[in-house]
Structure 1
Amino acid sequence: MSAGADPAVRVAGAGFRYARGTAGDLAAEGVSGISFELAPGTVTLLCGASGSGKTTALRMLNGLVPQFHRGELTGEVTVAGDTVPTRPLHEAGRTTGMVFQNPRTGFFTDAVLAELAFGSENLGADRDTTVARVRAAAAATGVTGLLGRGLGGLSGGQTQQVAFAAAIAAEPPVLLLDEPSSNLSAEAIGRLRRLIAEQRAAGRAIVVAEHRLHFLRDLVDQVLYFREGRIERRFDGESFFALDEATRRDLGLRRLTAPDRPAPPAPPAEAAGTGLELHSVRFGYRGRPVLDIDRVAFPAGRITALTGPNGCGKTTLARIICGLADPARGGEIRLAGRRLRAAARARASYIVMQDVGRQLFADTVAGEVTLGLDRAAAAAVDVDGLLAELDLAGLQGRHPQSLSGGQRQRLVLASALAQDKRVHILDEPTSGVGRAHLEAIAARMRALADAGAVVVVVTHDEELIEACADHEVHLPAVNRVAGAGAAD
């Protein structure tokens, strides 16, 4: 920052503790004593383990704490000249645009076009200005083709792209991005990188909270490493991406360079005998084709990565496999040679959804693990052991929705592990998790496969594929899989 220039963001000695329950008792979780400044035209990376305080720090900058999430805020938080705690929350759009870890939680409308226009309209911009901003934001993010779509019918990756478009459409001086690469394909991550570079060049201050790090090389000006609610270490971008492997692993960070892996082989044709086999599976939404699969097999006792570009139908296929949807007439799904209808597929399988918030129903973490099991089955589950393996020890009494995004992801995985199912589908299970948790999730999936289950992981995460996948089935953009190996 040049001498005399005002920072876009100034945080001085700030802390926040969340209020719990109707009594408003203050929790230990949050952040404390954090200080930093952001200059216009710079990128700041927040990194550290899930639950270390990164999302709370972002919420401090857009006013969601303490005005939406109740609790006690201390210290000074100033964004674009506004004192955030005293600014009306509806004014936040003038200074910040936010992409949430779960983008759907930040939407105000039910249609892509309306969502992109919302920020400008809410701030009183005229029609011509709003239209120009929407067109520019849609073109920049590659969502022009989605402008006529509803938000509810988008894939996770498409939702992420729309959220970014909405964040930049009102042209705020500060952008806050919480795990923006989660659920994005390699192509979409490349587009995200270009967008961040363009927004930086336009003079915006950008804060990125991320676990997937390699795509930010040569973009980041400063790095704030969080541990247990505090900023423990600070780096400039060059020194951070020059960290040696031992230091990187000690800090619990993911790769600083992109994985360079050979693709796992396609499942062998003979895998269908004991595993899952799909024939003539076709599906569409309101006349729009989504899936066209001649045949594909997912072997038992193996981990198969289901990959493909955003919007190609991966999550739809996962829903069909586990009985939440049915293919068009003529489609057939067999498990160990036996044809299964939707109800039987639902009984035989368990899915960890992309948006795990939709799967949390209990009022405690411990209760969530065994939810749906009968008394005898629940008693046989080592709840404390499962939670400890997934770094959730000590959280048994917490409400599931009070956890961080990565913690909720691992809690639903713990619930899946407690179920005695023959097919396990995990949809982007490592979005929002760091290296140690990725390795723990990979190990638990391996244990499921070793026990004889069919394990299918829907993912764009190259590090996860490298860590555990035995086979890969790729759904191409044209949504047609011709044989067991699925080629582009």
Structure 2
Amino acid sequence: MIEIKDVSFTYESGESENSLRNINLKIKDGETVLLCGESGCGKTTLTRLINGLIPHYYNGQLTGQIYLDGKEVKDYQLYQIAPMVGSVFQNPRTQFYNVDTTSEIVFGCENMGLPVQEMLARLENTTKCLKLENLLGRSLFALSGGEKQKIACASADAICPNTFVLDEPSSNLDISSIKDLTEVIRQWQSENKTVIVAEHRLYYLAPYADRIIYMKRGEICNEYTREEFLGLDPKELKKMGLRALNPFDLMPEKTPEANEKSLQIDNFWFSYEKRGYPIVNIPDLTLPQGEIIGIIGDNGAGKSSFARCLCGLDKSSKGTLKLNGNALNAKKRRHISYMVMQDVNHQLFTEDVLDELLLSMDGENEEEDKVRAQEILAGLDLSDKLKLHPMSLSGGEKQRVAIGSAVASGKEIIIFDEPTSGLDYRHMLEVSEKLIQLKEMKKTLFLITHDPELIYKCCTHLMFIEHGRILWHRPMDNEAVRLLQEFFSHEKGSSAMAI
């Protein structure tokens, strides 16, 4: 049993966001609890109380008591909590200690000193349960974001704890992988495990949660049974800043207009040397210019690789892009394009948020650049973060800073890889509004996304990638909606969708 009594916590930095106030909570053994609320409401901080990272790793002002199996968390050593509470973080890279998947899955077991045969048995059971046989023996650096998240879940599962704490576990997963994650959680439930999940995506977990806890400004504002929560009106959910419970039933908000200008892709081809087969293989493709093009497909389908080829970032890739009648090789494409990566930690370089945006601007007029950068940050709800170090921000805030840098760059082609990963409803809307503004400025945008709400909010066109090939692309019309819904409902996502 987990019990939190009269707990308040403020981080050492003194930030008010993510702090907790007067938390009282009991979680029974075998209970599945969903924590929801807008970004910064304290969900992640609450999970850190349970897995012992507070007070054993994160410093701050803590009052009250946290009990794990009848003993205060502060009286445990962190290594004693690790076998009791398995943790899966929002960014799986932060919990990796190896370079290959198999070693990573058994790493916790090795630290527990388990016999080799026991470790191998757990490895087999975990990979079978999570359907990860095809990921064994792979380099962690070659995995997609969703595949990395699966390995993080497997590492926690192999330890066989009684409690699992997951922080935004679906943020980098495609629909098929979310179904797999749901099956894993259901398996844990059948084993009477305690499962606590902090999430913005509610649709996959709410039907199976025993209790839903809604947080706001560091406090528990309300608790719902499963039936009560599923019965909430969609307007009420929006008012609470929560994502839709049935996002696949939404419809596009705008009908795309005809566009005569186009981008022409010729003979795009890319392969990793060891793979022996192409990751991207697109003989020819014509796409509209100045539009918002959503890119969908399963994890590992080649979406991010296609984006890097488009930007000219993979120097070994082949092919040309014709823009305004001019053929652009990879070097030229790097000058006119900007890519917001799935893991934005790779592209945050400066000492504060404002400088991060200024870095992507031309610098011809410093004062004008500052004013424009501040306007962009205000539109992304980051005005109060101007002087903070980018790496001190939450995952969702970092995501918005990277998006702000893309907006500030003024490039003709901008590619966003999972731009709403870890964002709540309100911030997803702010991002979609920024994307629409860029479209109005005649920019061509590509959105790699598994977020149906974002697609319906702003995409004018849609394309589907499988095994590095474009199976179909079309305007966001009724047929595209049908194909999109088929993709989201199809178990594997796939070739059955070719048209």
TM-score using structure 1 length: 0.91
| Segment drifting more, 253-262 vs 178-187 | 253-262
State whether structure 2 residue 465 is matched by structure 1 residue 475. Answer: yes
Report if aligned partners of 2:253, 2:458 keep a CA contact under 8 Å in 1: no
1:349 aligns with 2:342: no
Deviation of 1:82 after TM superposition, in Å, equals 4.3
1:400 corresponds, among 381, 390, 411, to 390
1:33 aligns with 2:22: yes
1:13 matched to 2:6? The reply is yes
Q: Is the 8 A contact 1:264 1:472 kept in 2?
A: no
CA distance in 2, matches of 1:216, 1:78: 26
CA distance in 1 between partners of 2:84 and 2:44 (Å): 18
How far does residue 81 in structure 1 lie from its aligned partner after superposition?
4.0
Are residues 113 and 393 of structure 1, via their aligned partners in 2, closer, same or farther at CA, if it must alter by over 3 Å?
A: same
For 2:249, which of 257, 260, 271 is the aligned residue? 260
* 1:183 aligned residue: 172
- For 1:286, the aligned partner's letter is E
Letter in 2 for 1:226: M
Structure-2 separation of matches of 1:377 and 1:320: 32
In the alignment, the residues of structure 2 paired with residue 68 and residue 275 of structure 1 have an alpha-carbon distance, to the nearest angstrom, of 52
C-alpha spacing 1:262/1:255, structure 2 compared with 1 (3 Å): closer
Corresponding position of 2:488: none
User: What amino acid sits opposite 1:365 in the alignment?
Assistant: V
Does structure 1 residue 300 correspond to structure 2 residue 293? no
What secondary structure sits across from 1:410 in the alignment? helix
Question: Following the alignment from structure 1 to structure 2, what is the Cα–Cα distance between the partners of residues 327 and 275?
Answer: 25
The aligned amino acid for 2:415 is I
Shift of 1:422: 0.1
Match of 1:284 among 271, 285, 302: 271
Alpha-carbon distance in 2 for matches of 1:141, 1:107: 18
Q: Is the 8 A contact 1:111 1:151 kept in 2?
A: yes
Deviation at 1:351, TM superposition (A): 1.1
8 Å CA contact 1:293–1:482 kept in 2: the answer is no
Output the CA distance in 2 between the equivalents of 1:210 and 1:128: 36
How do residues 131-170 of structure 1 correspond to structure 2 at under 5 angstroms? 131-170=120-159
Give the CA deviation at 1:174.
Answer: 0.8
Q: Distance in 2 between matches of 1:440 and 1:168?
A: 36
Q: Aligned partners of 1:11, 1:427: CA distance in 2, in Å?
A: 38
Q: Distance in 1 between matches of 2:434 and 2:412?
A: 15
Which moves more between the two structures, 386-395 or 162-171? 386-395
- Report the Cα distance in structure 1 between the residues aligned to 2:363 and 2:297, rounded to whole angstroms: 40
- Report the 3-state secondary structure (helix = DSSP H, G, I; strand = E; otherwise coil) of the residue aligned with 2:12: strand
* Conserved? CA contact 1:141–1:165, under 8 Å: yes
- State the 1:117 CA deviation: 0.3
- 2:190 maps to which residue? 201
1:40, 1:204 within 8 Å by CA — same for their partners in 2?
Answer: yes
Q: What amino acid is the match of 2:444? A: V
Say if 2:74 is the partner of 1:85: yes
3-state DSSP of counterpart to 1:218 = helix
C-alpha contact 2:462 2:473 (8 A) present in aligned 1: no
Contact conserved, 1:281 with 1:327, CA < 8 A, in 2?
A: no
Q: Distance in 2 between matches of 1:473 and 1:167?
A: 35
For residue 149 of structure 1, report the CA deviation from its aligned partner. Answer: 0.2
How far apart are residue 225 of structure 1 and its match?
1.2
Structure 1 residues 28-177: aligned runs within 5 Å: 28-29=16-17, 30-177=19-166
Once residues 339 and 331 of structure 2 are traced to their aligned partners in structure 1, the CA distance between those partners, rounded to angstroms, is 14
Equivalent-residue separation in structure 1 for 2:355 and 2:424 (angstroms): 25
Distance in 1 (alpha carbons) for counterparts of 2:263 and 2:366: 27
Cα distance in structure 2, aligned partners of 1:92 and 1:295: 55
Q: Compare 114-123 and 284-293 and name the one that shifted more.
A: 284-293
Are 2:354 and 1:361 aligned? no
Whichever residue aligns with residue 101 of structure 1, its letter is: Q
- Aligned twin of 2:435: 445
State the Cα distance separating 1:131 from its structure 2 match.
0.8
Cα distance in 2, alignment partners of residues 472 and 241 from structure 1: 30
From 336, 352, 374, give the equivalent of 2:324. 336
- Judged with a 3 Å threshold, the aligned counterparts in structure 2 of structure 1 residues 140 and 296 are, in CA distance, closer, same or farther, namely farther
Letter in 2 for 1:309: D
Which ranges in structure 1 are unaligned for 5 or more consecutive residues?
Answer: 1-6, 21-25
* Cα contact 1:295–1:484 (8 A) shared by 2: no
Residue 482 of structure 1 and its aligned partner are, at CA, apart by 6.2
1:370 corresponds to which residue? Answer: 358
CA positional deviation for 1:43? 1.1
Alignment partners' CA distance in 2, 1:374 and 1:281 = 30
Query: What amino acid is aligned across from residue 285 of structure 1 in structure 2?
Result: Y
Alignment RMSD: 2.3
Which one of the candidate residues 225, 238, 249 is aligned to 1:236? 225
Could you tell me how far apart the structure 2 residues matched to 1:148 and 1:102 are? 21
Q: Between the two proteins, what is the percent identity of the paired residues?
A: 35
Q: 1:224, 1:233 within 8 Å by CA — same for their partners in 2?
A: yes
Q: How does 1:378-457 map to 2 (within 5 A)?
A: 378-381=366-369, 382-457=372-447
Q: What is the SS of the residue equivalent to 1:370?
A: helix
Q: CA deviation at 1:40?
A: 1.8
Which residue identity lines up with residue 424 of structure 2 in the other structure?
A: G
1:262 Cα deviation after fit: 6.9
Q: Residues 355-390 of structure 1: CA distance to partner in whole angstroms, max 9, x if unpaired?
A: 111111111122212124343354324233222211
Contact 1:276 1:454 in 2 (8 A): no
CA distance in 1: counterparts of 2:312 and 2:393, whole angstroms = 29
Conserved 8 A contact 1:80-1:95 = no
Deviation at 1:327, TM superposition (A): 5.2
The question of whether the paired residues in 2 share the 8 Å contact of 1:294 and 1:483 is answered with: no
Aligned partners of 2:11, 2:69: CA distance in 1, in Å?
25
Deviation (angstroms), 1:397: 1.7
Q: Which moved more, 1:212-221 or 1:333-342?
A: 333-342
